[in-house]
Each structure stands twice: as structure tokens, then as C-alpha cells.
Amino acid sequence: MPIYEFYCKRCNTLYNFFSIKVNTSKIPLCPRCKNVRLARKMSVFAALTGAENEQDSRPFNGLGETRMTEKLAGIVADAEKIGGDDPRAAAQLMRKFTESTGMKMGDSFHEALRRIERGEEPEKVEEDMADALMREEPFADKKKTRKSSVAKMIIDETLYEL
């Protein structure tokens, strides 16, 4: 017996209907609103859960493994060229890495890079900015999130007969 999903726009609810036979043409009325024709929806048979929270906790959110490997290989090659004695080049390398991978760093991090690129001693920059850098989440995505004005769809767990 197939189960079909139908959506009511008025009450923002998804309903499940079972049918004794395959029935692709019948459209039921909303069980709650009583006089509203429902819209057939494609059933979701596989869903990822917790993805939003997992992505938020990963520093390289949204960056595929292949792309990350390529970027890291390029950065390592560049790092070997500059050695460890050039703070300006190291700061430029870090900036290149964050820009090429799409990694979002906080404002204090970018300010520290700017100062080192201008020639300030990294130890002095770290001393001056230690508190700000420690407070800042280094991998924070600074995009402002806007709460949606659209209410989350209600899923009615009852199985209705079509």
C-alpha cells in the first residue's frame, strides 16, 4: 500500500495518506481545514539530521576534502619557499590560505595579519592583541543570519486514508 504526502498551505501542515492501490490522481481535502484541497508533495525518504550543528562546529565548513588537500599542498609548498624567518611572508601566506579556502576569520585576526604585513613584530602584535584574539572565535562565520518570517512546517504524524 503506497503512502502519499500532501501539504496544506493554509495550516502549513504536511499530511500522510495511504491508499489500498496506486492512486496518482486523487487529491484529498485538508483534515484540519476541511475545505482546502491539498498539494501533493514529493516524499523525503532519506534525511540528514544534525547537519547544521555539525557544520557550525567544523572550522573548514563547506570545503570539500579534495579542495582542502589541494589548498594545503599549495600552502605547504609556498611555506617551504619562505622559510620561518619572514613574518610578513608568513602573514601573507595565512591570508592567501584563508581567502583561497573560503575560511572566515574574525576581525581581530585580520587586524593582526595587517599589522604583521606592515612590518610590526609578531610578538608585539600578539602582546597587544592577545585578549581580543582569545575572545574571538577564530573560525567564526561572520555572515549575519536573519530569522525567517516563514513558520516551520508542521508534520502531522497521523496516517489518513486516501
* Residues 79, 131 share a domain: yes
pLDDT in tens, 56-109: 444 555 556 666 677 677 777 777 777 667 888 888 888 887 777 677 778 888
Asked if residue 102 belongs to a domain, the reply is yes
Q: What is the dihedral of CA 27, 33, 35, 40, to 10 degrees?
A: -20
Q: Is residue 83 domain-resident?
A: yes
> Are 67 and 130 in a shared domain?
yes
pLDDT one-digit tens code per residue, 13-68 = 999 998 888 877 889 999 999 999 999 987 665 445 554 444 444 455 555 666 66
* Cα–Cα distance measured from residue 94 to residue 136, given in angstroms and rounded to the nearest whole number: 17
Q: How many structural domains comprise the chain?
A: 2
User: 143 lies in a domain?
Assistant: no
Same domain? For 22 and 81 the reply is: no
Q: Does residue 124 fall inside a structural domain?
A: yes
80 in the same domain as 104:
yes
Q: How far apart are CA 83 and CA 152, in angstroms?
A: 53
Question: Has residue 136 got a pLDDT over 50?
Answer: yes
Phi, psi dihedrals of residue 6, rounded to the nearest 5°: -135, 145
> Strand 39-41 to strand 3-8: parallel, antiparallel, or no bridges (unpaired)?
antiparallel
Domain-located, residue 140: no
Can you give the pTM of this predicted structure? 0.43
Q: Is 34 in the same domain as 73?
A: no
Q: Examine the domain organization and report whether 42 and 67 are in the same domain.
A: no
Q: In this structure, which amino acid lies at residue 10?
A: R
Q: Is 32 in the same domain as 69?
A: no
Tell whether 19 is covered by a domain. Answer: yes
Which residue segment(s) compose the domain that 23 sits in? 3-47
Task: Verify that 67 and 131 share a domain, yes or no.
Answer: yes
Residues 71, 128, single domain; the answer is yes
Distance CA 55, CA 10 (A): 33
Is residue 155 domain-resident? no
